[in-house]
């Protein structure tokens, strides 16, 4: 019975991946009670994670899946297209959601006013649905719609921190303004593409656009899409919304958004750059080399230096995120199979590290209520498990061997060296060394300074420690045995560049 | 020059609106005015989409059975979605502005910045509110 039910559902997995979280959002709202909403959202997150894993498995065995929504054929209807690239993005998004939700109950209860809990989980489910939708869809305009669902719900997830600190409101407002400008830029680009090609389907676009490489309208569309997605993914110098948003949002929102939202934007940028535009020469190809590459390098160094001077741990990690996004854009700027493999690997790996780190910081927030350098003093002994998680996450961020960070850096450096660009490899190593400083600052405060006199702090509850440690162990696990992730990333990179293995 | 303007006047209007909108977003310090600027900016995109779907001499795409020339309805439908998105963004933006007013007592950018600078100084002294 279950077997036949499952085989009946299997062909519709692509639709269910998005529809289930999307429809459960209003149901979650109607549940009203915070705890019930939380339980419901957790179940839905795990269902979405299971769906994503099944889709990844199906893609890896049978190749690209194309699913027509509502049975309308592709150029007229919207289709969902899942290949190795977005299957892995789906797994990242749904996986982080599934890990963060069990953690959310205690953390949200402490940081968000009780009457907003069920609304908070509703916004979370909408955000999850939006992120999954952006990743899965094969229609350019549909990307915009899901992008805006994601953005609107993430503004809410960020402003929910207003109960703790009013600056969450201005952070959410600034993100709203810049996010809307970014998304509107993107939709202008899509409109211009439609003007020239008469299609919105990404596969059709990829067949028609490369032939029009010298068309001025295509150039303008390209510029709008790159800048729009640059805003969304917080590419230096368009990252100004990010530090405040991550600092003042509730810990759960920060962990979820830091590990997923910017990653999905990186994915969209990759999809448009290499599948739709696929530039081989001229203005668009030069943009990679002379715009994205320098910006990525500046982000890696400047944001890391900015992180060193931060006093608030969340803000420190936010600046480090800007630097890490620089690594991802660097891989994109190479435009080679190795570069894209490194980007995709780092997409996955960075979600694991930043997820683990922000969850650990959330534990500190719950028990100490202060995530500044002052607050973490002496926590090495008072919250040993939380701080150990932070240390392992930090080591991964630096790129120490046996962690996922090392794998990403290794592939980025190899990609740089294979083109003979050793100065870039040197910058990567330099920014990794700078990362040692900010991780060390936290370690020093936690392990070598005395806690403030009279402060009694207990270890974080298990419901929060376990999710944190799941991500920490994933950092180590995928760091020791990277074969699977590297394989998937390589397949995905070749798929993006249209190279048949 | 004038011919270039007249032949593609709709796009010139789009560019003009877009620049006005962006200018208001950047230059105005009042949070509500910024939202209005954002609206003008988004409206310019609506106009762009709608005008690119227009076919010269075409009528509204209603199936009457007669052999008529239609405008392309797809961009119009897309923009219906974008308008909904725009309304949602405006609503959320204004809702946040209301909360900002409650929390800070002002909706002027520079005054909020001044208050936040004091908040930040408070953080650095290690005082917790």
List, for residues B99-117, the tens digit of each pLDDT value: 999 999 989 988 988 998 8
Report whether pLDDT(A220) > 70: yes
Q: Does B25 touch chain A (CB under 8 A)?
A: yes
A184: nearest CB among B31, B41, B97:
B41
Hey, are the CB atoms on B93 and A152 less than 8 Å from each other?
Answer: no
Separation between Cα atoms, residue A429 and residue B118, nearest integer Å: 38
Q: What is the DSSP letter of B70?
A: B
Write down the pLDDT at residue A3: 58
Contacts of A188 in chain B (CB under 8 A): 45, 48
A169: nearest CB among B85, B103, B124:
B103
Distance from CA of B54 to the nearest CA of A (A): 11
Separation between Cα atoms, residue B31 and residue B23, nearest integer Å: 14
Structure confidence at residue A1 as a pLDDT band (50, 70, 90): very low
> Do A406 and A479 touch, CB atoms closer than 8 A?
yes
Mean pLDDT on A99-109: 92
Hey, are the CB atoms on B81 and A176 less than 8 Å from each other?
Answer: no
Mean pLDDT on B1-17: 85
The fraction of chain A above a pLDDT of 70, given in percent, is: 98
ipTM (interface predicted TM): 0.92
Mean pLDDT on A59-76: 84
B99, B103, B106, B112: CA torsion to nearest 10: -110
Hey, are the CB atoms on B93 and A191 less than 8 Å from each other?
Answer: no
Mean pLDDT on A341-361: 93
Report whether pLDDT(A325) > 70: yes
Q: How confident is the prediction for chain B on average, in pLDDT?
A: 87
Q: How confident is the prediction for chain A on average, in pLDDT?
A: 90
Hey, are the CB atoms on A176 and B96 less than 8 Å from each other?
Answer: yes
Other CB atoms within 10 A of residue A186 CB = 27
Write down the pLDDT at residue B126: 56
Q: Which of A362, A361, A202 is nearest to A277 (CA)?
A: A202
Hey, are the CB atoms on A372 and B123 less than 8 Å from each other?
Answer: yes
> Do A188 and B45 touch, CB atoms closer than 8 A?
yes
> Do A182 and A231 touch, CB atoms closer than 8 A?
yes
Asked if residue A367 belongs to a domain, the reply is: yes
Question: pLDDT: is B53 or A296 the higher one?
Answer: A296
Mean pLDDT on A195-206: 89
Separation between Cα atoms, residue A323 and residue A106, nearest integer Å: 30
Contacts of B48 in chain A (CB under 8 A): 188, 191
List, for residues A144-177, the tens digit of each pLDDT value: 999 999 999 999 999 998 888 889 999 999 999 9
Hey, are the CB atoms on A194 and B75 less than 8 Å from each other?
Answer: yes
In terms of Cβ atoms closer than 10 Å to its own Cβ (0-12, 13-18, 19+), residue A407 is buried
Consecutive H or E run containing B50: helix B31-52
Q: Does B107 touch chain A (CB under 8 A)?
A: no
Lowest mean pLDDT among A315-329, A332-346, B94-108, B113-127: B113-127
Asked if residue A83 belongs to a domain, the reply is: no
Minimum Cα–Cα distance from A176: chain B residue: B93
Contacts of A187 in chain B (CB under 8 A): 45, 82
Hey, are the CB atoms on A177 and B25 less than 8 Å from each other?
Answer: yes
Q: Does B104 touch chain A (CB under 8 A)?
A: yes
A17: its two tokens: 């991946």
Asked if residue A444 belongs to a domain, the reply is: yes
Report whether pLDDT(A2) > 60: no
Hey, are the CB atoms on A184 and B45 less than 8 Å from each other?
Answer: yes
Separation between Cα atoms, residue A187 and residue A140, nearest integer Å: 9
Write down the pLDDT at residue A5: 66
Lowest mean pLDDT among A46-50, A470-474, B123-127: B123-127
Structural domains in chain A (count): 1
Write down the pLDDT at residue A170: 93
Domain containing A401: what range?
A: 296-501
HEC secondary structure over A234-252: CCCCCCCHHHHHHHHCCHH
Report whether pLDDT(A14) > 70: yes
Asked if residue A453 belongs to a domain, the reply is: yes
Asked if residue A360 belongs to a domain, the reply is: yes
Write down the pLDDT at residue A501: 61
Write down the pLDDT at residue A21: 93
List, for residues A253-308, the tens digit of each pLDDT value: 999 999 999 999 999 999 999 999 888 777 888 888 899 999 999 999 999 999 99
Mean pLDDT on A205-217: 87
CA angle A362, A364, A365 (to 5 degrees): 60
Q: Does B47 touch chain A (CB under 8 A)?
A: no
Mean pLDDT on A119-140: 94
Asked if residue A496 belongs to a domain, the reply is: yes
Report whether pLDDT(A451) > 90: no
Asked if residue A287 belongs to a domain, the reply is: no
Q: Does B11 touch chain A (CB under 8 A)?
A: no
Structure confidence at residue B66 as a pLDDT band (50, 70, 90): confident
Separation between Cα atoms, residue A408 and residue A429, nearest integer Å: 12
Instruction: Name all domains of chain B by residue range, CATH numbers in brackets.
Output: 2-124 (1.10.287.3510)
Hey, are the CB atoms on A191 and B34 less than 8 Å from each other?
Answer: no
List, for residues A391-444, the tens digit of each pLDDT value: 999 999 998 889 999 999 999 999 999 888 889 999 999 999 999 999 999 999
Report whether pLDDT(B95) > 90: yes
Asked if residue A149 belongs to a domain, the reply is: no
Return the biggest CA–CA distance within chain B. 77
> Do B100 and A169 touch, CB atoms closer than 8 A?
yes
Report whether pLDDT(B128) > 50: no
Contacts of A451 in chain B (CB under 8 A): none
Crossing angle, helix B31-52 and helix B73-104, to 10 degrees?
A: 180
Write down the pLDDT at residue A4: 62
């Amino acid at each position: 019975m279950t077997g036949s039910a499952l085989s009946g559902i299997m062909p519709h997995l692509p639709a269910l991946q998005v529809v289930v979280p999307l429809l459960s959002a209003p149901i979650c709202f109607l549940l009203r009670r915070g705890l019930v909403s939380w339980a419901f959202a957790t179940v839905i997150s795990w269902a979405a994670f299971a769906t994503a894993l099944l889709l990844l498995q199906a893609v890896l065995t049978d190749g690209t899946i194309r699913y027509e929504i509502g049975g309308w054929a592709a150029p007229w209807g919207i289709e969902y297209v899942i290949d190795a690239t977005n299957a892995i993005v789906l797994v990242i998004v749904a996986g982080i959601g599934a890990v963060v939700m069990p953690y959310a109950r205690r953390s949200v209860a402490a940081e968000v006013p009780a009457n907003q809990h069920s609304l908070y989980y509703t916004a979370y489910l909408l955000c999850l649905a939006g992120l999954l939708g952006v990743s899965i869809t094969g229609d350019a305009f549909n990307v915009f719609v899901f992008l805006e669902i994601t953005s609107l719900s993430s503004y809410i997830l960020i402003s929910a921190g207003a109960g703790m600190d009013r600056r969450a409101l201005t952070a959410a407002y600034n993100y709203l303004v810049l996010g809307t400008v970014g998304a509107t830029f993107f939709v202008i680009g899509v409109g211009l593409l439609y003007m020239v090609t008469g299609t919105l389907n990404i596969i059709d676009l990829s067949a028609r656009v490369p032939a029009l490489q010298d068309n001025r309208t295509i150039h303008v569309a390209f510029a709008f899409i790159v800048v729009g997605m640059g805003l969304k993914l917080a590419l230096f110098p368009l990252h100004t919304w990010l530090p405040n948003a991550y600092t003042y949002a509730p810990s759960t929102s920060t962990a979820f958004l830091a590990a997923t939202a910017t990653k999905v934007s990186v994915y969209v940028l990759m999809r448009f750059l290499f599948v739709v535009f696929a530039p081989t020469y001229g203005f668009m190809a030069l943009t990679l080399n002379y715009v994205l590459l320098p910006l990525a390098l500046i982000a890696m160094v400047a944001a890391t230096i900015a992180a060193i001077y931060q006093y608030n741990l969340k803000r420190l990690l936010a600046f480090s995120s800007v630097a890490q996004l620089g690594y991802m854009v660097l891989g994109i700027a190479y435009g080679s199979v190795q570069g894209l493999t490194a980007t995709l690997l780092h997409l996955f790996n960075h979600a694991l590290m930043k997820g683990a780190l922000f969850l650990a910081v959330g534990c500190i927030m719950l028990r100490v209520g202060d995530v500044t350098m002052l607050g973490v003093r002496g926590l090495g002994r008072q919250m040993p498990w939380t701080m150990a998680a932070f240390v392992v996450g930090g080591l991964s961020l630096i790129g120490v061997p046996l962690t996922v960070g090392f794998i990403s850096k290794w592939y980025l450096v190899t990609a740089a060296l294979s083109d003979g660009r050793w100065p870039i490899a040197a910058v990567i190593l330099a920014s990794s060394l700078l990362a040692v400083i900010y991780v060390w600052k936290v370690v020093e405060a936690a392990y070598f300074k005395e806690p403030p006199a009279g402060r009694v702090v207990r270890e974080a509850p298990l419901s929060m420690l376990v999710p944190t440690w799941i991500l920490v162990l994933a950092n180590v696990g995928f760091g020791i045995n990277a074969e699977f992730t590297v394989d998937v990333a390589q397949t995905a990179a070749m798929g993006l560049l249209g190279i048949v293995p | 020059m004038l011919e270039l303007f007249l032949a593609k006047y709709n796009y010139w209007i789009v560019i003009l609106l877009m620049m006005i909108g962006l200018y208001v977003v950047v230059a105005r310090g009042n949070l509500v005015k910024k939202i209005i600027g954002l609206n003008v900016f988004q409206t310019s995109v609506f106009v762009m989409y709608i005008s690119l779907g227009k076919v010269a001499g075409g009528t509204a795409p209603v199936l009457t059975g007669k052999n008529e020339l239609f405008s392309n309805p797809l961009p119009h439908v897309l923009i219906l979605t974008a308008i909904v998105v725009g309304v949602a963004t405006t609503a959320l933006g204004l809702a946040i502005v209301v909360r900002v007013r409650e929390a800070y007592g002002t909706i002027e950018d520079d005054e909020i910045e001044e208050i936040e600078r004091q908040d930040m100084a408070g953080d650095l002294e290690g005082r917790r509110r």
